[in-house]
A and B are shown apart, each in its own frame.
Chain A
Amino acid sequence: MSVRVLIPTPLRAYTEKRDTIEVDGNTAGEVLKNLTGKYSQLQKHLFDDRGNLRSYVNIYINDEDIRYLQNEETGLKETDVVSIVPSIAGGTDAVVEEIEEKVKSRNIRLSNEEILRYSRHLIMPEVGMEGQKKLKAASVLMIGAGGLGSPLGMYLAAAGVGRLGIVDFDVVDETNLHRQLLHGSNDVGRSKLESAKETIRNINPNVLVETYETRLTSENAFEILKDYDLIVDGTDNFPTRYLVNDACVLLGKPYVYGSIFRFEGQVTVFDAKNGPCYRCLYPTPPPPGLVPSCAEGGVLGVLPGIIGSLQALEAIKLIIGNGEPLIGRLILFDALKFKTRELKLHKNPDCPICGDNPSIHELIDYEQFCGISYEDGRDIIVDRISADELKQKLDNNEDIFLLDVREPNEYGINKIYNGYLITLNDLPDRISELDSSREIVAYCKVGGRSARAVDFLRKTGFKKVKNLIGGIDTWATKIDRSLPRY
């Protein structure tokens, strides 16, 4: 059986200028096979190297796209007309093209050692020599060398990213070790940057590591970010996230975002040129204190390993310009239930920084924007008591009611004598359990939550209530060294 096939203008050069051809076949696939058999030069324009129909080639049977029928298996009748209809697409790819340009202008090549090292990349056509050279030419800036920064730094280095920048100002402590694999037990007390640099050098000495031992601020962000192709975010606080987002939007750089909390993680790519930015998703920060940090809320150690690895994957896809990046798609991962959800994100036309009429044209004060100074507890002015003073009072058998405002899990780890547990959240409902005539000393882990508790109690009418400076952490360091710290 034969059917008529309509040929679009650009392909007629290969069909002896004919716009209609009679071709044998019982299915759409057979017709295409016989057509390219007859006119072999059509093959490479209709099909890719793996024999799949190119994405912009649409095959219609009469008025129906075969994608909505049975694809190439769709059966044909004698009277059917098969049309090849291109959809015309194009555009620019900022990041990958800039990197391709660097591969050319710097004449990037791989040494024999590198070819061997990256051989499992090189034998996949999706990466290949071209992709590996792009990785070598690429530069990525990591904000933070902690939980997310660990898999990010390790995988990006192992994958052969040429230049890795790391911003961090922290020192490794014991509580980092259950998740921050860039650092080991021997690194406790060392700068995270030094430790990260050493680990990365051991993984792949070809990677140039540049370190910035500073807090990222509105003053230094442009200077640090400007020389990198893309930014990966491993921060755990809102002011830095808004700062990184705004700087990336203003500099036109993509920003691979990840965040973790307890058992849940999120990952997406913010690229304001091609999709939404962080402010499109979260126009305003959450009320301070609502979303606890890892230090306050805890995190399953393996979770940043998963989310940070996904961020590294996205960064690599952007660099090699292959696959479908998570631009405009937010992945939510629940480790306990093992469920993932994908949310479609849209660009907000009213976004103050990447919308149609942006009102933000420069970096602002992000601590203030996030309202950190007050609610964090650092600035709340309340009566305070030092650990030494408290110890003295207790030793003198003064009547002191110790109020512990932490979470029950924390209480299970350590407590000061028999501190009475009422979590900060429960305090308003359980205030009747407190005796306002007694002297109350409130404490938490380091003093932030208890400052808020004291402030609340004062406003409710309690007069004799004080905040323990430095919380149980200071108590455990200075007064009772038998207590475990966390």
Chain B
Amino acid sequence: MILITGEILERIKIHGEKTYNEECCGAIFGTSYNNDRKINDILEFENEKEDSRQNRFLISPAQYNFAEKLAKEKNLELLGFYHSHPNHPAVPSRFDLDHALPWFLYIIVSVNNGKAENVNAWILKEERSGFTQQAIKVRAGARTRIKAGSEVN
């Protein structure tokens, strides 16, 4: 079960629409308990991929380290990452599978013709054979907002 606020969900969608027709990406922060994840905030990242941004995203090691550091500072966990699929369904691709890490939550938003539509959440299966789709529950509630657009070198 994934708990997320409507406001964070909306921010992920807006990010996908903003970068359309290129992929957007960002980090997800919150807390975990067994298979449940409670999302407290997200952080938008620049897509570091130099080319093919219409169907590829890359979060660099430096950005990754920044996300880990930030999670520690905020006393949260780095739960995973989100990205958009422009004109493509919100399901993980073969490429996503090849590059997925265990335990992490992968949220994918489909953006069709500039409009964000479906949002799905996935976690890699233990044997790396595919992803398990996670139920998303939208909750109300306040959260601490992590400053978006923080600089990462």
Contacts and interface: CB of A to CB of B under 8 A. Distances in A.
Interface residues of A, number: 35
Interface in A85-122: 85-94, 96-97, 100
Contacts of A97: 93-94
Interface in B91-134: 92-96, 99-104, 106, 127-128
A90 B92 contact: yes
B59 A88 contact: yes
B5 interface: no
A375 B6 CA distance: 63
B58 A87 contact: yes
Nearest to B83: A90
Nearest to A42: B102
Interface in A261-284: 273-275
A321 to B, nearest CB: 6
B149 interface: no
Interface stretch (B9-17, B36-44, B48-56, B137-145): B48-56
B137 to A, nearest CB: 22
Contacts of B103: 9-13
B102 A13 contact: yes
Contacts of A14: 102
Contact of B59 (A65, A87, A96, A346): A87
Contacts, number: 110
A12 B64 CA distance: 16
Nearest to A354: B54
A481 interface: no
Contacts of B104: 9-10
B55 A91 contact: yes
Contacts of A9: 68, 71, 77-78, 103-104
Contacts of A90: 23, 25, 56-57, 83, 92-93, 95-96, 99-100, 106
B75 interface: no
A11 B102 contact: yes
Interface string B56-89: 1111110011001001000001101101010010
A56 B97 CA distance: 12
B23 A85 contact: no
Interface in A160-187: none
A94 B99 contact: no
Contact of A60 (B55, B61, B83, B100): B61
A97 B64 CA distance: 28
Nearest to B128: A44
B64 A275 contact: no
A466 to B, nearest CB: 55
A273 B54 CA distance: 6
B55 A92 contact: yes
Given A44-B128, A88-B64, A90-B92, A11 B101 contact: yes
Contact of B58 (A85, A89, A275): A89
B59 to A, nearest CB: 4
Contacts of A8: 64, 68, 101
B101 A91 contact: no
Contacts of A485: none
Contact of B61 (A65, A93, A346): A65
B61 A86 contact: yes
A328 B51 contact: yes
A321 B93 CA distance: 11
A339 interface: no
B93 A92 contact: yes
A274 B49 CA distance: 12
B99 A89 contact: yes
A205 B51 CA distance: 40
Residue with the highest number of chain B CB atoms closer than 10 Å, among A14, A91, A327: A91
A58 interface: yes
Contact of B101 (A10, A100, A273, A327): A10
A93 B100 CA distance: 15
B36 to A, nearest CB: 14
Contact of A56 (B51, B68, B99, B127): B99
Contact of A91 (B57, B61, B78, B81): B57
Nearest to A60: B61
Given A90-B92, A90-B95, A275-B51, A10 B85 contact: no
A347 interface: yes
Contacts of A60: 61
B64 A87 contact: yes
Given A13-B102, A93-B94, A96-B94, A88 B52 contact: no
A321 B55 CA distance: 14
Interface string A234-278: 000000000000000000000000000000000000000111000
A274 B50 CA distance: 11
25 contacts: A8-B101, A9-B68, A9-B78, A9-B103, A13-B103, A14-B102, A44-B128, A45-B101, A45-B102, A45-B128, A55-B99, A58-B61, A87-B61, A88-B64, A88-B81, A88-B101, A89-B56, A89-B58, A90-B56, A91-B55, A91-B83, A91-B85, A273-B54, A275-B52, A328-B52
Interface of B: 23, 25, 49, 51-52, 54-61, 64-65, 68, 71, 77-78, 80-81, 83, 85, 88, 92-96, 99-104, 106, 127-128
Given A88-B25, A91-B93, A273-B55, 6 more contacts: A12-B103, A86-B64, A90-B95, A321-B94, A327-B52, A328-B51
Interface of A: 8-14, 44-45, 55-56, 58, 60, 65, 85-94, 96-97, 100, 273-275, 321, 327-328, 346-347
